[in-house]
Structure 1
Amino acid sequence: MIERILPPGVVFSEVFGDPPGHALFPEEEAIIAGAPSVERRREFTTGRRCAHRALAELGCPPGPVLKGPDKAPVWPDEVTGTITHDRGYRCAAVARVADILSIGIDANAGSRPVTVGWDRMTGPAERRRLAELAAERPDVPWDRILFSAKEAAFKAWYPLARTKVGMRQAEVLIDPDRGTFRANVLLAPGPEVNGRPLTGVSGQWMVAEDGLVLTAASVINSDRYRPGARAQGVSAAVVAGRGWSPARATSGHVRPTRAPRIPSSPTPHTRHPAVAPAAVPRTDVQRGVQM
């Protein structure tokens, strides 16, 4: 499902639920040994399962995905990656640094409570825009889309800048028609990337029929990146969720697509998006499917 918003060159593995039977590496077992709950252990194990499968698809030898001092996953040399999990959904995405310098994904099923007020998470311009979007299309969870977009953008920003960004230190602009977003970091310019200071990260978002919000942001290596097309069967202008499309979000139209059934005993799905020749602008931070 998440392949609809991932850039070409990214390999992913996603799963609904926590299939049993996956053995962690001893080093990973040590990380989760003191897990405060069974649920935490399950989500960690399934997240690592997805990471192992995505890395194998990328051609990496088997090995543990450890946790660094900053609590972020530690990936093999020349690989960038990201893991996300929320109620019933786990996913890992990886890519070669030769193509993608960093990537961040986030899933938001509405199960994570907001622990701080919106005035501490958003700026005035963001709140005004959220109000406008809610008035235009009240059935779309714009607040969760914005929150998830920030999370994905922070994950893509940190490996390059090595600075953490607070919620109010980034301003997210959501494009409801293209299903894209831009997170402008309101700090001093970040490191130089592809010959220019990194000032923010762009990405794409989608909402599934069951309300699951997915976001993905990345920074490409434009010096070596070879542009490609999206996975076959997915329009570059329309990022369809499992029931409606953000490209139609302001029209009031709900596309009558059939939502795939989530199996009761799910199995992970790993896929490398198809790549076909296409002209894509080469910039330091790409928008949407062109990242």
Structure 2
Amino acid sequence: MSGDIKAALSAGLPQDIGVGVTRVSPRNEALFLQEMAFIKNAVPSRQQEFSAGRAAARIAMKQLGLSPKPILAGADRAPVWPDGVIGSISHHDKTCVAVVSADNQWRALGIDIEPDAPLDPDLVCEVCTTEEQNWLAQQPKDQRLRLARMIFCAKECTYKCQYPLSQTLFGFDAIEISLKANSFVATFLQPVPLFETGQTLNGEFTFAGQHMIAFMAIPSQKAKTQAISMEPPYLRQEGRASQTHESWKAIQQ
């Protein structure tokens, strides 16, 4: 299964973005001493997820010819990447996925992996804005909760992509998702540092096995990079109304 996910993701990404996929297991992957010290007091499940995430990230780094280095975590539990490297890590159940690149090519990456299954109906009102709920109501009834899961996955991906740049927590209704086949557009409904109300970020979905994976990348200002088969470009402006909401917890790996 891990091989299927890696192959599916790699097929749609530029060669300057590495992909790593691992399994979360009781047998922790090899860690640097600094990493071991960081999680020595964590519960076993957290140690396993941390270990699998770092292993996946180093697989992605190796794919790009980068030397393996420690990847610690900040007070917010977000990964602290080595100098010159950016990335994103996500896991669901026993599967962990990481994407990595050099920071002279991309400013930020975001990835989220979720089960390819309907979202809990009780979560729809929490996750989806009124406009998203209205759109869902127009879709075939047997597809609505799966589409709601895709909206959730896209919002998690967007949050994780913007967070290293803005260092800002925000609510589910701070962004709105427009699904477009296997891609999506995330629109900011309120301003956060470096992102204005109405600004958009584009992402893509990959489906492999029993998982859906949302991916997003923001090009570096230092380099002109190719698009990843998605239109329009990663960043563009559209006018939208501003809304506010309390912060949701940071979903960091």
Structure 2 distance, partners of 1:17, 1:85, is 8
**Superposed, which structure 2 residues align to 1:140-151 within 5 Å?**
141-151=146-156
Higher helix proportion, which one? 2
1:225-276 superposed Cα distances (whole Å, 9 cap, x missing partner): 3327x6xxxxx58xxxxxxxxxxxxxxxxxxxxxxxxxxxxxxxxxxxxxxx
Match of 1:183, SS state, is strand
Asked whether 1:23 is paired with 2:30, we answer yes
Structure 2 distance, partners of 1:282, 1:123, is 24
* Alignment match, 1:9: 16
Q: TM-score, normalised by structure 1?
A: 0.68
Offset at 1:12? 1.1
1:75-118 superposed Cα distances (whole Å, 9 cap, x missing partner): 1122210001111211111111211110000001279x969743
Higher strand proportion, which one? 2
Identify the match of residue 188 of structure 1 among 184, 187, 191: 191
* Alignment match, 1:94: 100
Asked whether 1:33 is paired with 2:36, we answer no
Offset at 1:39? 3.1
Asked whether 1:78 is paired with 2:84, we answer yes
Structure 2 distance, partners of 1:226, 1:183, is 20
* Alignment match, 1:104: 110
**Superposed, which structure 2 residues align to 1:214-233 within 5 Å?**
214-221=213-220, 223-227=222-226
Counterpart of 1:30, as a letter, is A
Q: TM-score, normalised by structure 2?
A: 0.77
Instruction: Summarize the Cα distance change of 1:281–1:215 in structure 2 as closer, same or farther, 3 Å threshold.
Output: closer
Asked whether 1:166 is paired with 2:182, we answer no
Moved over 6 A (4+): 113-116
1:27-72 superposed Cα distances (whole Å, 9 cap, x missing partner): 2112222223x33322221111111222233333332100012211
Structure 2 distance, partners of 1:82, 1:107, is 11
Asked whether 1:122 is paired with 2:125, we answer no
Flag structure 1 segments of 5+ consecutive residues without an equivalent: 231-235, 238-279, 286-291
Offset at 1:197? 8.7
Structure 1 distance, partners of 2:175, 2:53, is 27
* Alignment match, 2:207: 207
Instruction: Summarize the Cα distance change of 1:47–1:198 in structure 2 as closer, same or farther, 3 Å threshold.
Output: farther
Q: Percent identity?
A: 26
Structure 2 distance, partners of 1:182, 1:7, is 19
Flag structure 2 segments of 5+ consecutive residues without an equivalent: 1-7, 237-253
Instruction: Summarize the Cα distance change of 1:21–1:154 in structure 2 as closer, same or farther, 3 Å threshold.
Output: closer
Calculate the aligned-residue CA RMSD, in Å: 3.2
Counterpart of 2:101, as a letter, is A
Residues 214-223 or 147-156, more deviating: 214-223
Q: 2:158, 2:216 within 8 Å by CA — same for their partners in 1? A: yes
Instruction: Summarize the Cα distance change of 1:106–1:282 in structure 2 as closer, same or farther, 3 Å threshold.
Output: closer
Offset at 1:139? 8.5
Q: 2:20, 2:97 within 8 Å by CA — same for their partners in 1? A: yes
* Alignment match, 1:256: none
Equivalenced residue count is 229
Structure with more relative contact order (C-alpha pairs < 8 Å, separation 6 or more): 1
Counterpart of 1:188, as a letter, is P
Structure 2 distance, partners of 1:4, 1:141, is 24
Structure 1 distance, partners of 2:163, 2:68, is 25
